[in-house]
A and B are shown apart, each in its own frame.
Chain A
Amino acid sequence: MTDEFSRPPVAPVPVLRLGDVLLVTLQGDLHDSTAEQLQQDITERIGSSGATGVVIDISGIEIVDSFLGRVLAEIAAKAGLLAARTVVAGMRPAVAITLVEMGLTLPGLRTALNTEAALHLLGDPARSGSAVPRPGRR
């Protein structure tokens, strides 16, 4: 955010719209300015499109710091004010352990194993399950 750091040529994180849901895929390092831009993009898109859900896929993120935790919590809070629910999908074990060790349990955030599960969760809030699972399918 400060000007003495030369801003790297990072493309803004794309926000895709799938029906009533906005899909954001985070990968690699999240730069301060990119994060700021992303938060702004998401709130604007919710406002313009009337989306009711936001899915943030972070399966591509292997290293986490408190900044990312705060960004996720803030996106959820802003989306919540606009009546959209936020689901974080695909968090890796190492990232989850790090966040918990830092004391960031993100209580207000919904989570899902992967993007598909997240879309299910948003699509059918009453019954968050998928089809009846059977053993030995895998």
Chain B
Amino acid sequence: MPEHEAEARQGSPAREVGVFLRRRREQIAQRWADEPLFRAVFTVSRDEAVEAGRTVADALAEVATAERVVDPEAAGFTLVREQLARMAASRARAGLGTAQVSREVDALRPPVVDLLVADLADAPAGRLRECESALTVLLGTLRLVVLETALSEGEALIDRQRLQLLEVATPVIKLWDGIVAVPLIGTLDSARSQVVMETLLEAVVDQQARYAILDITGVPTVDSLVAQHLMKTVAAARLMGAECVVSGIRPAIAQTIVHLGLDLGTVVTRASLADALAHALHRLGADIVHASSGGAGSR
């Protein structure tokens, strides 16, 4: 032990912290297991928490030995990144905000610092202060890594959901031979309107549809951008030889469109999907008549 410590003393403070972390790995893991972060995540057994603490301590020791205490991209962290992400995600599920998770990670610091101070009691005061500061920086970096991992998890989730939304939200429905409809739901952005336009036009070709109905009952707001996308879709459908009917423009949206000064004059509009369908059927020469009033049409 003495020559080991002497060797460590010769190195930089970061190296010495690395040696200290390896030496006290067991005690650190035991103390961390009692901290809320580990206790709340590993509820099954304390041994599991201690094991997780050991892994984190090892990773920190590796980073310290590599003298990269300020670098969240250090190679040592990659080993525990997944575990940290799991822990952060588990805390987030428990309803903790980012700041609270951050505070819990910070709570890992005092026990380790206490151990370090006890270990280096006989070292010169300056040396002790250097080592303590290196350790503090290292744990600060750990905090950053945890938060960064948690955030990137969240971003991945959002990306996944956005893709799902794109796939789910644009069904093209065949209403009649030669008539297709797209019920639009939710806010339209450029990416979504692009998908809507492509799927609608593909359906027009596939089903040889002469009429395409864009129903915007489920669109909460219409701004100039959305209106422009609608116009583009209508123009593209017309170029292909289909006629586009826009239906479901609610009174509030109609007012907005007029207030914005948008000219939808070239677009055929109907109040509801039913009206649009009736219009398309009429143009196809297939009028709907009530059996009681018409009578002659049934034969």
Contacts and interface: CB of A to CB of B under 8 A. Distances in A.
A93 B240 contact: yes
B177 interface: yes
A99 B236 contact: yes
Interface string B182-211: 000000000000000110011011011110
A91 interface: yes
Contact of A129 (B198, B241, B283): B283
A129 B238 CA distance: 16
Given A91-B240, A129-B285, A133-B284, A100 B235 contact: yes
Contacts of B283: 129
Contact of B201 (A97, A118, A132, A136): A97
A27 interface: no
A132 B286 contact: yes
B177 A91 contact: no
Contacts of A95: 239
A90 interface: yes
Interface in B126-181: 176-178
Contact of B204 (A89, A93, A138): A93
Dominant SS at the B interface? helix
A129 B239 contact: no
A99 B239 contact: yes
A112 B241 contact: yes
B235 A138 contact: no
Nearest to A112: B241
Contacts of B198: 93, 97
A7 interface: no
Contact of A111 (B176, B208, B239): B239
Residue among A92, A106, A113, A136 facing the most chain B CB atoms (10 A cut-off): A113
A89 B240 CA distance: 7
A138 B177 contact: yes
A117 B241 contact: yes
A92 B210 contact: no
A96 to B, nearest CB: 4
B284 A93 contact: no
Interface of B: 176-178, 197-198, 201-202, 204-205, 207-210, 232, 235-242, 266, 283-286
Given A100-B239, A105-B235, 12 more contacts: A91-B239, A92-B205, A93-B202, A96-B236, A99-B239, A112-B241, A129-B210, A132-B285, A132-B286, A133-B284, A133-B286, A136-B177
Query: 3 closest Cβ contacts across the A-B interface?
Result: A93-B201, A133-B177, A112-B241
